Amino acid sequence: MTEAPETTAPQRYPFSEPDRLNLDPRYARLRRDEPLTRIRLPYGEPVWLATRHADVRTVLGDARFSRAASVGRDEPRNTPRQQEGGILSMDPPEHTRLRRLVAKAFTARRVEELRPRTRQVAHELVDGMLAAGPPADLVEHLATPLPIRVICDLLGVPVADQDRFHTWSEAIVSTTSLSPERAQEYIDSLFAYMGELIARRREQPTDDLLGAMVRARDADDRLAEDEVVRLAAGLLAAGHETTVTQIPNFVYALLTHPDEWARLRARPDLVPGAVEELTRFVPLGATSAFARYALEDVELGGVLVRAGEPVVVSISSANRDETVFPEADRLDLTRQVNPHLGFGHGVHHCIGAQLARMELQVVLETLVARTPDLRLAVPESELIWKSGLLVRGLVAMPVSW
Amino acid sequence: MSTTNEQWRVHVDPTRCIGSGICAGIAPKHFVLVHGLARPLAERVAPDDALVDAADSCPMEAVIVSEADGLRRVAPEP
């Protein structure tokens, strides 16, 4: 056990600009030699970074690490503006009270009921893509519209408004892609839009999730109206931004590992395991955020994290931990034991995890069936990747078949 | 907390659990992760709202809380 190395200046983080889906080799060194290290994000106080699977799981899952304790602190972050409240800044039981409003709609059982409709939408969208090419842009024709339609159906948000709320949603994942003023404007617009949809349901009750949220809020006056609006806006924005991004990432990973794509083509029954393995293998995050604050002294990764100190985690690094995943840098769709942390861990575990899994499974099974000869329509080096976001993703993905 | 002698029974279905860590985060006095899967620390416990929260929050509906001396399920809600 060692004290915080006061003499060493914290390293700037993220260590490097994201390079496609490659993970910075520094993570492997840190997991081996210095599993907890001091870093500094572009804004906020210095922070510990955890890189090993076990430590990441502890920080995310152990009640001695708190998100609520971040309130009022100069939280490590990627944008000048501070997080202001919201469900990601709460601990149980307040967090649970809010999350329970919507948790029922995202159970595996309820998500399964959405699968037939999602399959139908996927086939319609692939029909459109096939009619438009080859080549055609997979981002435009499939990856973007599919998650938007699914979350709109679920929440009860008009698909016709997608151009507006899709634009605003970038603010949720933006680091430098939007100016701080523009990001705030988008977030305000998203909240105002959701506030209107919710207010309308007071006059005309509906059977969708927004309607259910309104009824639950009115039955429990401990829930603040603005928290419900923020939660709904978060579900809409986070509920599609991430899946919109992961679909092309998954397809990119498969097409640049042609042996694995061939395996999937030969054995579509591998799709569920493939989605787990791709969730592990694809380092979606381009940086880290949402530090957990230690409520008491905790020994972690060979150092003593003092009460009041913040810790961020690298999920991408944890998912490549060789002590948990043999040949961790290899994409292996038949990997049997796969306790990846791609959807996080603990009370803030992605509420949309089952929905995302289902959508990703449907996309892969549909592409394998409809476009078995799918390939990039441009050299890999010509693909353009997004920048200035919390996540890695492709701007466009021209494909042929 | 109940002041009666009522007891609840806590069960985690290991075939459904995906080890999300949600129950152990909500109710650390009642659940622990063993080899990545949730396990109740005690099968019979005094009633505690945190147990209902944990059962209602499990995305797999793997956490079942029922009355120890009856058949009535306490959580999750159907």
Share of chain A above pLDDT 90, in %: 91
Whether the CB of B56 is below 8 Å from some CB of chain A: the reply is yes
For the record, the structure tokens of A136 come out as: 């055609």
Q: Is the pLDDT of residue B2 over 50?
A: no
**Contact criterion met (CB < 8 Å) for A353 and B59:** yes
Domains identified in chain A and CATH numbers: 11-370 (1.10.630.10)
**Contact criterion met (CB < 8 Å) for B61 and A107:** yes
- Minimum-distance CB partner of B21 among A61, A92, A107: A61
Model pLDDT for residues A225-279, shown as the tens digit of each residue? 888 899 999 999 988 889 999 999 999 999 999 999 999 999 999 999 999 999 9
Nearest to A43 by CA among A7, A72, A12: A12
Q: Name residue A274's amino acid.
A: A
Q: Name the 3-class secondary structure at A62.
A: coil
Q: Name the 3-class secondary structure at A314.
A: coil
Mutate to test the interface with B, among A220, A345, A350 (most CBs of B within 10 A): A345
Q: Is the ipTM of this complex over 0.85?
A: yes
Q: What is the pLDDT of residue B3?
A: 55
Alpha carbons A394 and A396: distance in angstroms, whole number: 5
Mean pLDDT over the full length of chain A: 95
Alpha carbons A304 and A288: distance in angstroms, whole number: 21
Q: What is the pLDDT of residue A1?
A: 52
Cβ-based neighbours of A212, under 8 Å, separated by 6 or more: A101, A105
Q: Domain residue spans in chain B?
A: 8-75
Task: Collect all residues from A whose CB is shorter than 8 A from any CB in B.
Answer: 57, 60-63, 92-93, 96, 99-100, 103-104, 106-109, 339, 343, 345-347, 349, 351, 353-354
- Minimum-distance CB partner of A96 among B26, B59, B61: B26
Model pLDDT for residues A349-360, shown as the tens digit of each residue? 999 999 999 999
- The single residue listed with the structure tokens 């099974």 is A365
Cβ-based neighbours of A153, under 8 Å, separated by 6 or more: A114, A117, A208
- Cis peptide leading into residue A134 (ω within 30°): yes
Model pLDDT for residues A300-351, shown as the tens digit of each residue? 999 999 999 999 999 999 999 999 999 999 999 999 999 999 999 999 999 9
Nearest residue on chain A to B49, judged by CA atoms?
A: A93
> Which has the higher per-residue pLDDT, A8 or A210?
A210
A50, with CB counted inside 10 A (0-12, 13-18, 19+), is buried
CA separation, residue B46 to residues B5, B7, B8, B10, B51 (Å) = 8, 5, 6, 10, 10
Residues of chain B contacting A219 with CB distance shorter than 8 Å: none
Whether the CB of B49 is below 8 Å from some CB of chain A: the reply is yes
The CATH code that applies to domain B8-75 is 3.30.70.20
Q: What is the pLDDT of residue B77?
A: 84
Model pLDDT for residues A22-31, shown as the tens digit of each residue? 999 999 999 9
Of A34-43, A79-88, A133-142, A154-163, give the lowest mean pLDDT range.
A79-88
Alpha carbons A340 and A319: distance in angstroms, whole number: 5
